[in-house]
């Protein structure tokens, strides 16, 4: 059986539009047995020259310019990676340093290191896939609307009854919401296996107990405490071979699991390339290898990101060809020294802003190649933010993305950033994403298809909000529901003038921070404000790329999936973003991080509001004083300005004397 290929949802060539689809070759795949262990080992076999029969009208996919021999390995390196290492020798690299994988690159100078990076990059580009998925001749519509008389319809809750689910990333932000939703809305689910890494000497069972005692599971603990016993920890590590899972646990998973959700990833934008590849790419590959051994797997849902294709303006629900072959990148991180990888990283990621989006794009391409005949779907959320409704409005457990910046705004510590205020702020509540993932798994399992479907989970097409509106709503909410210990009255501006933004950062962020830290030292207290401002600046730098650009994420598959659900399932598993009222959502968002991140109870709001009124008047007073001091300074430096001011006052007094006669 040939491996599953993803078809395009619209008529266009994704990359290399000049290439004819008739010239595309499919990456060769041997015959496979569904989900067998031999299936996975054979999927990497590149010695066959069988070409794909296109008589059925399904075009194939090109890997490495259609040349399967590029995947053959030599001493653990693909040919392209070997050429890249060879390029480093030609550019002045040390053979001993690179061949041994030593941390010392052996480069004689910075110029030699740059030449090495350029040589490696050129070798990899020559082996990159030349094109993405070809056109299928028209729009694809694999969805049929729900019909009340359809007796074959299986409700989502009923589908999960008696099934066991395996989740990676279950202790993360999205994973927690997924576990809670499955337990609450699919009460007959059999078991949920969570991949948990032992951490800081804490066993996985202790980490699971800590997880289930979080406020997120409060309603379940109160109403359905027995449901929590269905969550079973699996000790492992996404960065380890075979995911660090013991043989007995692997056997347990292969025998029982029928649905897999893969959400484990490093979301740090400034992560080193080596670790980012290890988690986001190798972790995915190892999970797919495990899935091939599962006896009754019906759905594998891979969580990617809508921004993995951020080098494009229009992003469809297709897999675009990456700039490099994933196997070559994996080979390089295993062979090249860390310092050369660091020098090479900016060249590798190209137009993408960070290693996260780069490795996520490669992971999608690798998943397409490695999945074989597995039933796979990909969910691509945009910027994931606090929950809309479930398990309660405004729940959030981290300061990532906009949460950290709005929190800093609420504290009065953040007042300016580079942002195009009229661009769409494509953010999506976490429970919307989770409901879509659950429904996508249901659809993948109940409607068997050879197509790898992708779901862009975004709000920009159906219910957009622009950055200026988001900031306006956030500003209003943080003033209405202020934080305890707010340092200053919350204000702020979005700018696209970099020199002006830099000047405002210095005057409004760092100057007050150094003053406050100086006062703290005089009083014998520990200074912290400058350190906080440095962290804010780093967060702003990461978000700036996404706030100064705009994308159009097409979500036809999401919209189509929505209409296949029954009215009852639509009420239980809500992922229609048109239901979001952004003003109310942002207010709940602010109340959410106030309660769950800053641990401040609603009872403290009256006192915080009184403090906010005092800060408002203090803010206005400071502005008046600043204007007067500035004017006084200018008057003392300019005789002409002084004369103009005197003339103005004299004329104003004359007019004032005439008022009684008018």
Question: Which has more pLDDT, 326 or 11?
Answer: 326
Quickly tell me which residue has 């159906």 as its tokens.
462
342-394, pLDDT tens digit by residue? Answer: 889 999 998 899 999 999 999 999 999 899 899 999 999 999 999 999 999 99
Of 145-154, 170-179, 282-291, 573-582, give the lowest mean pLDDT range: 145-154
Count CB atoms within 10 A of the CB of residue 468: 15
Report pLDDT for 199: 84
- Stretch 161-173: mean pLDDT, rounded? 95
- Stretch 602-625: mean pLDDT, rounded? 94
Angle formed by the axes of helices 529-547 and 511-522, to 10°?
160
The total of structural domains in the chain comes to 2
Q: Which ranges of 238-325 does DSSP label H, i.e. alpha helix?
A: 247-256, 273-277, 283-292
Tokens of 404: 């950290």
Give the count of alpha carbons within 13 A of 601, CB side only.
2
Question: Which sign does the torsion angle of CA 392, 395, 401, 406 carry?
Answer: positive
Tokens of 559: 């919209």
pLDDT band at 78 (very low <50, low <70, confident <90, very high): low
- Stretch 640-656: mean pLDDT, rounded? 84
Report the chain's mean pLDDT, rounded to a whole number.
Answer: 82
- Stretch 500-504: mean pLDDT, rounded? 94
Asked whether the predicted pLDDT for residue 125 surpasses 70, the reply is: no
Asked whether the predicted pLDDT for residue 661 surpasses 70, the reply is: no
Asked whether the predicted pLDDT for residue 494 surpasses 50, the reply is: yes
Question: Which has more pLDDT, 153 or 268?
Answer: 153
In a domain, 496, yes or no: no
Tokens of 110: 């910075």
Share of residues in the chain with pLDDT > 70 (%): 78
Q: Which helix (H) or strand (E) holds 315?
A: strand 314-315
In a domain, 119, yes or no: no
DSSP bridge partners of 136: none
pLDDT band at 85 (very low <50, low <70, confident <90, very high): low
Per DSSP bridges, beta strands 552-553 and 427-429 are unpaired
Tokens of 386: 């606090």
435-462, pLDDT tens digit by residue? Answer: 999 999 999 999 887 788 999 999 999 9
Helix (H, G, I), strand (E, B) or coil at 457: strand
Residues 634, 554: one domain?
no
Asked whether the predicted pLDDT for residue 254 surpasses 80, the reply is: yes
In a domain, 322, yes or no: yes
Main-chain phi, psi angles of 200, to 5 degrees: 50, 45
Asked whether the predicted pLDDT for residue 95 surpasses 90, the reply is: no
Report pLDDT for 240: 92
Tokens of 337: 């020294």
Residues 285, 355: one domain?
yes
Of 25-39, 172-186, 217-231, 283-297, give the lowest mean pLDDT range: 25-39
Report pLDDT for 637: 82
Residues 622, 558: one domain?
no
CA distance 113 to 93: 7
Report pLDDT for 626: 87
Tokens of 14: 């994704």
pLDDT band at 653 (very low <50, low <70, confident <90, very high): confident
In a domain, 352, yes or no: yes
In this structure, what CATH number is given to the domain that contains residue 568? 3.40.50.720
Summarize the chain as % helix, strand, coil (round to 5). Answer: 50, 10, 40
CA distance 388 to 589: 8
In a domain, 111, yes or no: no
Beta-carbon contacts of residue 291 (< 8 Å; ≥ 6 apart): 35, 260, 297, 300, 374
Of 147-151, 203-207, 347-351, 567-571, give the lowest mean pLDDT range: 147-151
Q: Which ranges of 293-419 does DSSP label H, i.e. alpha helix?
A: 326-335, 338-349, 355-370, 402-410
Range of the structural domain that residue 627 is part of: 609-657
Share of residues in the chain with pLDDT > 90 (%): 62
Q: What is the DSSP string of 164-188?
A: EEEEESTTSHHHHHHHHHHHHH-TT
Report pLDDT for 128: 55
Count CB atoms within 10 A of the CB of residue 94: 19
Peptide bond just before 475 cis, omega within 30 deg: no
Q: Which of 198-207, 359-368, 640-649 ranks highest by mean pLDDT?
A: 359-368
Asked whether the predicted pLDDT for residue 529 surpasses 80, the reply is: yes
Helix (H, G, I), strand (E, B) or coil at 637: helix
pLDDT band at 640 (very low <50, low <70, confident <90, very high): confident
Full-prediction pTM beyond 0.85?
no
- Stretch 50-64: mean pLDDT, rounded? 36
Asked whether the predicted pLDDT for residue 91 surpasses 90, the reply is: no
pLDDT band at 228 (very low <50, low <70, confident <90, very high): very high
Beta-carbon contacts of residue 330 (< 8 Å; ≥ 6 apart): 277, 281, 282
Asked whether the predicted pLDDT for residue 48 surpasses 60, the reply is: no
472-488, pLDDT tens digit by residue? Answer: 999 999 999 999 989 89
Tokens of 71: 């995947």
CA distance 146 to 554: 22
Tokens of 236: 């492992």
In a domain, 356, yes or no: yes
Asked whether the predicted pLDDT for residue 44 surpasses 90, the reply is: no
Q: Is 229 exposed, middle or buried (0-12, 13-18, 19+ CB in 10 A)?
A: exposed
pLDDT band at 101 (very low <50, low <70, confident <90, very high): very low
Asked whether the predicted pLDDT for residue 271 surpasses 60, the reply is: yes
In the chain, count of helices (H) and strands (E)?
25, 15
Q: How far is CA 637 from CA 557, 586, 633, in A?
A: 66, 47, 6
CA distance 84 to 78: 10
Report pLDDT for 50: 40
CA distance 372 to 48: 15
Residues 258, 325: one domain?
yes
- Stretch 39-64: mean pLDDT, rounded? 37
Asked whether the predicted pLDDT for residue 323 surpasses 90, the reply is: no
Question: Which has more pLDDT, 33 or 600?
Answer: 600
Asked whether the predicted pLDDT for residue 263 surpasses 80, the reply is: yes
Asked whether the predicted pLDDT for residue 140 surpasses 80, the reply is: no
Tokens of 15: 């990359």
Residues 633, 558: one domain?
no
CB 140 within 8 A of CB 133: no
Report pLDDT for 116: 58
Asked whether the predicted pLDDT for residue 426 surpasses 90, the reply is: yes
Q: How far is CA 187 from CA 169, 192, 215, 404, in A?
A: 22, 12, 20, 35
Residues 630, 559: one domain?
no
576-609, pLDDT tens digit by residue? Answer: 999 999 999 999 999 999 999 999 999 999 999 9
Furthest CA-CA distance within the chain: 104
Question: Which has more pLDDT, 333 or 145?
Answer: 333
Asked whether the predicted pLDDT for residue 134 surpasses 50, the reply is: no
Residues 349, 263: one domain?
yes
CA distance 299 to 7: 18
In a domain, 229, yes or no: yes
Report pLDDT for 80: 57
Report pLDDT for 83: 57
In a domain, 202, yes or no: yes
Report pLDDT for 120: 61
Per DSSP bridges, beta strands 383-385 and 427-429 are parallel
Where does residue 242 fall: left (phi above 0), alpha (psi -120 to 50 degrees), or beta otherwise? left
Residues 561, 621: one domain?
no
């Amino acid at each position: 059986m040939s491996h599953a290929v993803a078809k395009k949802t619209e008529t266009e060539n994704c990359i290399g539009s000049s290439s004819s689809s008739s010239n595309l070759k499919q990456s060769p795949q041997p015959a496979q047995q569904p989900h067998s262990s031999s299936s996975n080992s054979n999927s990497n076999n590149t010695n066959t020259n069988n070409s794909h029969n296109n008589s059925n009208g399904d075009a194939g996919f090109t890997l490495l310019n259609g040349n399967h021999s590029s995947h053959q390995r030599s001493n653990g390196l693909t040919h392209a990676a070997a050429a890249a290492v060879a390029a480093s020798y030609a550019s002045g690299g040390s053979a001993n340093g690179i061949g041994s994988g030593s941390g010392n690159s052996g480069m004689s100078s910075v110029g030699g290191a740059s030449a090495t990076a350029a040589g490696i990059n050129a070798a990899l580009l020559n082996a990159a896939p030349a094109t993405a998925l070809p056109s299928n001749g028209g729009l694809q519509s694999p969805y049929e609307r729900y019909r009340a008389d359809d007796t074959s319809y299986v409700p989502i809750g009923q589908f999960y009854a008696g099934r066991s689910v395996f989740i990676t990333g279950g202790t993360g932000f999205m994973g927690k919401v997924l576990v809670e939703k499955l337990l609450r809305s699919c009460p007959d689910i059999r078991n949920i296996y969570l991949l948990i890494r032992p951490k800081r000497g804490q066993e996985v069972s202790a980490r699971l107990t800590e997880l289930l005692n979080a406020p997120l599971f409060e309603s379940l603990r109160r109403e359905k405490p027995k449901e929590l016993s269905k969550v079973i920890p699996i000790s492992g590590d996404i960065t380890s071979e075979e995911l660090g899972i013991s043989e007995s646990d692997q056997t347990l998973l292969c025998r029982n699991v029928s649905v897999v959700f893969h959400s484990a990833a490093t979301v740090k934008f400034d992560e080193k390339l080596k670790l980012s590849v290890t988690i986001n790419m190798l972790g995915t590959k190892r999970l797919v290898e495990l899935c091939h051994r599962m006896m009754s797997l019906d759905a594998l849902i891979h969580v990617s990101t809508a921004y993995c294709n951020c080098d494009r303006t229009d992003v469809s629900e297709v897999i675009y060809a990456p700039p490099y072959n994933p196997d070559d990148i994996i080979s390089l991180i295993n062979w090249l020294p860390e310092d050369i990888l660091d020098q090479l990283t900016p060249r590798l990621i190209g137009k993408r802003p960070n290693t996260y989006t780069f490795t996520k794009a490669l992971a999608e391409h690798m998943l397409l190649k490695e999945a074989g005949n597995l039933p796979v779907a990909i969910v691509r959320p945009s910027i994931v933010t606090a929950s809309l409704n479930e398990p309660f409005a405004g729940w959030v457990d981290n300061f990532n993305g906009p949460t950290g910046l709005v929190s800093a705004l609420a504290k009065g510590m953040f007042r300016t950033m580079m942002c195009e205020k009229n661009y769409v702020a494509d953010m999506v509540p976490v429970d919307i994403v989770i409901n879509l993932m659950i429904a996508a798994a249901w659809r993948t399992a109940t409607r068997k298809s050879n197509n790898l479907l992708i779901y862009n989970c975004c709000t920009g097409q159906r219910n957009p909000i622009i950055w200026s509106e988001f900031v306006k709503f956030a500003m209003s909410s943080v003033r209405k529901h202020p934080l305890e210990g707010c340092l200053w009255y919350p204000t702020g501006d979005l700018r696209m003038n970099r020199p002006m933004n830099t000047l405002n950062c210095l005057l409004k962020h760092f100057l007050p921070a150094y003053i406050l830290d100086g006062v703290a030292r005089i009083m014998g207290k520990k200074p912290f404000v400058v350190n906080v401002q440095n962290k804010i600046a780093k967060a702003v730098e990461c978000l700036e790329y996404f706030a100064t650009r705009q994308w159009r994420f097409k979500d036809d598959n999401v919209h189509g999936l929505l209409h296949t659900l029954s009215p009852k399932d639509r009420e239980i598993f809500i992922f229609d973003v048109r239901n979001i009222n952004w003003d109310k959502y942002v207010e709940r968002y602010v109340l959410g991080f106030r309660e769950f991140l800053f641990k401040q109870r609603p009872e403290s709001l009256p006192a915080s509001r009184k403090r906010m009124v005092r800060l408002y008047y203090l803010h206005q007073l400071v502005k008046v004083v600043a204007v007067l001091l500035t004017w006084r300074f200018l008057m003392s430096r300019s005789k002409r300005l002084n004369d103009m001011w005197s003339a103005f006052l004299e004329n104003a007094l004359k007019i004032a004397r005439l008022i009684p006669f008018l």
